[in-house]
Amino acid sequence: MTNFWTGKKILLTGGAGFLGTHIVENLLEKRAVSKDQIVIPRKESSDLRIWDNCRKAVENIDVIIHLAARVGGIGFNQKYPGTLFYDNIMMGVQLIEAARMAKIEKFVQVGTVCAYPKFTPTPFKEDDLWNGYPEETNAPYGIAKKALLVMAQAYREQYGMNIIYLLPVNLYGPGDNFDLDSSHVIPALVRKFTEAIGRDEKQVIIWGTGKASREFLYVEDAAEGIIASTEKYNKRAPVNLGSGKEVTISQLVKTIADITGFKGEVVWDTSKPDGQPRRCLDTTRAKIEFDFEAKTNLVDGLQKTIEWYQKTSKEIDD
């Protein structure tokens, strides 16, 4: 427990989304934060791409955790690169500037692992962030987010603004986006295998070769890491948030197929891109600076995610 949150008004952008709902739950249940301390702007009435909305959103706020982002999987990134760049950079730039003008006490900017260079040596260290260009399919999104790190550091230097920057790896868990047009790899696989079983299909087609690797962080762990950093971290250097565990896509596919009970054939569509060849973070800095370590192993997290999805999809069908 910490008294950091006592009496503070918190602006949580993206608070109604996948990660945001878990942060709210953590704040309410583990930090004794009350509901009236948390302000969650909604896109319908407070589009953060519009300057006046950002200015109004920060009024009477003490702490900002900026999660709101336009995101998607490889296919979505390829289809909407301009949208991803514009929406993410405009929301971040305007909200940071509005926060500076309002003299906000603390600003937490949540970035992305997509900001790292395509061929970063694994495990990715924060100091490697500028040693190359991001993987092409997610570069517009990654660069938009990385530009906010530059802004954060510049505002700290010039204005003394207490703004920190986090680099979470791929997240997953209950409440994720399972829309096949925009989802990331784990929810897409969970849905594909679950639906194949329901339709008695003998084959599932998966993008790429299966050789690429990824690291995944269970959403409840990510929420804890973000909250812990808000409470304890006050430096200019970016910080990785991850599990530190690397898995190939082919291994991931086998694990999800086994948990869902899919017995058919997996067909790799090698005409589709793999994305970044490898992803695995060095999480030493998070452990040293605010004692964060992921608690949920991948198999347990996948089981919880699959159970949630299958229960939720069944309720929708009923």
| Residues catalogued as catalytic | 141
269 φ, ψ (degrees, to nearest 5): -90, 90
N-to-C CA span, the chain: 42
DSSP 279: -
Q: What's the rounded Cα separation, in Å, for the pair 112 and 66?
A: 12
Residue type, 114: C
Pairing of strands 265-269, 106-110: unpaired
* DSSP codes, 96-163: HHHHHHTT-SEEEEE--GGGSBTTPPSSBPGGGTTSSPBPGGGHHHHHHHHHHHHHHHHHHHHH---E
Q: What's the rounded Cα separation, in Å, for the pair 311 and 305?
A: 10
Alpha-carbon torsion 16, 214, 30, 291, what sign?
Answer: negative
Residue type, 209: T
